[in-house]
Amino acid sequence: MLNQVEKVLIIDFGGPEKTIVAREIRESHVFSEVKSPTITAAEIRQTGYKAVFLCGRPTLEGMTKSGGVRPGIPFDKEIFALDIPILAFSFAARVMMQLKRGQVAIPGDNEDGAWDAESEELKVEIVKEDKLLAGLGQSFVAHSSSPYFIKSIPAEMTGLARAENMPYLISGDLSRHHYALDLQAKLDQQVVRQIIQNFLGPIAGVKADWRMEDYLEFALKDLRERCGDKHALLALSGGVDSSVVAALAHRALGDKLHAVFVDHGFMRLNEPQWIEEIFRKERGLNLKRVDAEERFLGKLAGVTDPEQKRKIIGEEFIRVFEEEARALDNVDFLLQGTIYPDVIESGIGAKKVKSHHNVGGLPEDIGFEAVLEPLRPLYKEEVRELGRLLGLPEDLVNRQPFPGPGLAVRCLGECRKEKLDLLREADHIYREELEKAGFKGKIGQYFAVITEAKSVGTTQGGERRYADTIALRAVETTDFMTAKVSRLPWDLLEHIATRIITELEGVSRVVYDISPKPPATIEW
């Protein structure tokens, strides 16, 4: 199927912009791939991409002072000579201008760092009608992408939209279908969505033939063909990706799928039972739950450093999984829930954004014939859609991210059973109240943390207690790379704090974390 769908290419100069562009492209039912700027015109022609998007920007070292690309950064200029429509955003629009010999201006002496400055709101006026801007009206509001605005354009380009002092905010070489947008995809999503739709269909003539229903059929057939009569093994964590792989592979392989669920003891309240219920009882999956709580806690005794804890849990997880894999001597394939953002993040050549810290970094040398990754081409939203098509419950498909090392990350200091149990109870109260108040699905991520701080308070009976402090965290985020603190209603927070302190004897104080990311991280 992946050979049959029409593909478009995203050339990524770095940073999160590609994610936004890719999401919009997929929303239009078009399949896209992200590559680094080292891709050549010949490779693009050979793969048969129907359109090219240029987006993102390198770190400041990669730029010239006028916001163009430094000579050392590779980019094959021949790409502009291909007969393929090109749409370039912000920094990449400047690269396009530079290579086509337009000019970029730097106002004043505002130089390095300016790309990260607050963007100004602009009133954009359309000066020439074009298919690219259909549906946007005569004017719209957008944001400039940097102070390095485009000052002049080469002769073959035409200005399509302007803003005050920015005569070439959007311009295009209309005969070649090359467009430069001096806009940030991140800030102007509605505008960008419309432009991408206009570009893909009416301009580039790309077929909207990427549908999850078709992918599901393809993935089932592919798994059946690759596995034949052989058996496959999967580490099910209960996260979205491994759950969708489990449901998919179960439909394709039935009893030839063996899922192992390692319960490391760091799951939330009742979560292991819930996962078992869904997969074993309801769906009849061949699932083994390994109760390894004691084993993990034993390894963590006396360990307080968070990185050390993650490392120990990761290693122990592999050890437990290996033992289970060896015990099943008829398994030939290992299934993994790798998704496309994992592939991009682990390096398409651009700067690495986030290192992988999932527990599921499984060894490939347990003697498997091959590792199968049926979600590899998919973005998170597509994985969720596939999960829905496979009949997984919404609560599972729409889960918030949960760290592989689980609550161990949210239990500061040494991970002891009583402390984890206390955290589980507090976290449960917090979630229950937020969900009752209608916040489920409306906040990016929320959870409780048990800190190392003890403080004085009184019990319900009025006796002094010197007990633990629970911190509550709730953040609004879409990409999890930046996050704003959720402004939860004060009354609700107070109610939750009161419930936690009165219902849990081991907690004498509750605090709310008001740190944005950056500089704080989401997890503690």
Q: Which residues are at the interface with ligand XMP (CB under 6 A)?
A: 310, 357-358, 401, 403-405, 409, 445, 480, 517, 521-523
The residue with tokens 């402390």 is 419
Q: Which two tokens stand for residue 239?
A: 């996260």
Pairing verdict, β 231-235 and 257-263: parallel
User: Is 21:10 a contact under the CB 8 Å cutoff?
Assistant: yes
**Pairwise CA distance, residues 297 & 303, whole Å:** 10
Smallest separation (angstroms) from ligand XMP to the CB of 485: 13
Minimum CB distance to ligand XMP, residue 357 (Å):
4
Shortest CB 402 distance to ligand XMP, Å: 7
How far is it, in rounded angstroms, from Cα 160 to Cα 434? 47
Give the position of tokens 């199927």.
Answer: 1
CA 430 to chain centre: 25
- Please tell me what DSSP assigns to residue 483: B
Nearer to ligand XMP among residue 410 and residue 509 (C-beta): 410
Q: Report the half-sphere exposure of 275 (CA within 13 A, side-chain side).
A: 28
Rounded to the nearest whole angstrom, what is the least distance from the CB of residue 478 to ligand XMP in the complex? 11
Closer residue to ligand XMP, CB minimum distance, 111 or 373: 373
Which lies closer to ligand XMP via its Cβ, residue 98 or residue 358? 358
What is the DSSP pairing of strand 121-126 with strand 139-143? antiparallel
CB of 241 to ligand XMP, least distance (A): 10
Task: CB nearer to ligand XMP: give 138 or 521.
Answer: 521
Kindly state the tokens that stand for 147.
């102070």
Closer residue to ligand XMP in complex, CB, 346/521: 521
Cβ closer to ligand XMP: 356 or 464?
356
We find the least distance from the C-beta atom of residue 401 to ligand XMP, in angstroms, to be 4
What is the smallest separation between the CB atom of 354 and ligand XMP, expressed in angstroms? 7
451 neighbors 470 (Cβ within 8 angstroms)? yes
What's phi and psi for 152, nearest 5 deg? Answer: -145, 155
Q: Letter for the amino acid at 49? A: Y
Query: Which of 314, 506 has the CB closer to ligand XMP?
Result: 314
Shortest separation between residue 458's beta carbon and ligand XMP, angstroms: 34
Respond yes or no on whether the N-terminal peptide bond of residue 154 is cis (omega within 30° of 0).
Answer: no
| Cα distances (Å, whole numbers) of residue 487 to 161, 205, 437, 473, 493 | 37, 44, 14, 11, 10
Based on CB atoms, which residue is closest to ligand XMP, 143 or 473?
A: 473
In angstroms, what is the minimal distance from the CB of 386 to ligand XMP?
A: 20
CA atoms within 13 A on the CB side of 148: 25
3-state helix, strand, coil split of the chain in percent (to 5) is: 35, 25, 40
Q: Please say which residue, 122 or 375, places its beta carbon nearer to ligand XMP.
A: 375
